[in-house]
Amino acid sequence: MKEKIEALMAEINDLKCKKEQEIEEARVRLLGKKGEITRLFEEFRTVAPELKKEFGQKLNILKNAAAAKIEELKNAAEESADSKEASFDYTMPGDPMPLGSRHPVSIVREEIVDIFRKFGYDVAEGPEIEDDWHVFEALNFPPEHPAREMQDTFFVSESDNPVLLRTHTSSVQVRAMEKMPLPIRIVCPGRVFRNEAISARAHCIFHQVEGLYIDENVTFADMKQAILLFAREMFGPQTQIRMRPSYFPFTEPSAEIDVSCNICHGKGCNICKGTGWLEIMGCGMVDPNVLEASGIDSKKYSGFAFGMGVERIAMLKWQVKDLRNYFENDLRFLKEFETSI
Ligand code: PHE
């Protein structure tokens, strides 16, 4: 026992730890519940009575020395922490905190919506989970129309009145026609869902901005002018548009709109595949059946509607070749749009 006490005494005198954690470890090792000194006190019980006085004193000295040493080390550690703080240079530049930026799809959606706001359109929004009536039936889709099939539409529940994910934001236009007082002049931005294989040019989730204008005496010429003005705001003042005949169940007549290629200005390049034109949206005069389905008198009122894909416009604007970039959240891609805010 004598040797152990002496060895521990030497160790205590030699203790040199600086870090708070090391000091705490030394305290536990020596004075903790299972520490070496505590154990010696237990051993002390078995010491012969004639030696108790001598060992008792030695043990107490050892314990006090250990406690004093630990205290001393702790004070030294605190002091050096204080002096470190005092020497900290508060004028040093901070660690840069990277700023986030808006997503390119949000930037373009806002740009489109802002252009139509300037023309006097309001913004209308509606649910992403819809019923058959608002997505198809009220929009004059015949019962057997292929867009109603599972290959195109995500169904949430199948029944006589199925619940589904909207395949276009025209459903919001139906809701507006049902409730809003006439005339109606709205744009409907939102996320839409189609059961398509994901590729560089298609995705099962994307965004649209659709528009609707209903009043007395609205004509095809009004539509053409509104779209031309939009195209020039979006793609530059030199932009031309052309219309190609098309078909949608909810518009008659219907057209597809192309803008002159803003890269080659009509000469032909690989973005416009040599044609000089880029397709940007579908449009048409609202079919009288659609007006009547929402309780609007088609003899008195007429209107036009249009719809475009936000990702597509963004791809044309920034010449992004793969649609999937917009959904992968790769910071290297997203950072390229920081300056576009
Ligand atoms: N709803 C059509 C689509 O999703 C777009 C469109 C809207 C076409 C309005 C014409 C008129 O493809």
Could you report the per-residue pLDDT of 223-245, keeping only the tens digit for each? 999 999 999 999 999 999 999 99
Ligand 1 within 6 A of CB of 168: yes
Contact 129, 155 (CB under 8 A): no
Could you report the per-residue pLDDT of 182-230, keeping only the tens digit for each? 999 999 999 999 999 998 888 999 999 999 999 999 999 999 999 999 9
Distance of CA 254 to the CA centre of its chain: 35
Closest ligand 1 atom to 208 CA: 4
Q: Rounded to 5 degrees, what are φ and ψ at 35?
A: -65, 165
Ligand 1 within 6 A of CB of 283: yes
Confidence of residue 84 (pLDDT cuts 50, 70, 90): low
Confidence of residue 83 (pLDDT cuts 50, 70, 90): low
Could you report the per-residue pLDDT of 90-123, keeping only the tens digit for each? 888 888 887 788 899 999 999 999 999 999 999 9
Task: Give residue limits of the domains in the chain.
Answer: 2-86, 104-340
* DSSP code for 53: H
Q: For a pocket test of ligand 1, which of 210, 213, 304 has the largest count of ligand atoms closer than 8 A to its C-beta?
A: 210
Q: For a pocket test of ligand 1, which of 141, 186, 250 has the largest count of ligand atoms closer than 8 A to its C-beta?
A: 250
Closest ligand 1 atom to 168 CA: 4
Q: Which H, E and C letters describe 167-230, residue by residue?
A: CCCHHHHHHHHHHCCCCEEEEEEEEEECCCCCCCCCCCEEEEEEEEEEECCCCHHHHHHHHHHH
Closest ligand 1 atom to 254 CA: 10
99 alpha carbon – ligand 1 mean position (Å) = 37
Note the pTM of the prediction, 2 decimals.
0.73
- Mean pLDDT for 45-49 is 85
Ligand 1 within 6 A of CB of 306: yes
Q: List the beta bridge partners of residue 303.
A: 214
Q: Which fold has domain 104-340?
A: BirA Bifunctional Protein; domain 2 (3.30.930)
176 alpha carbon – ligand 1 mean position (Å) = 16
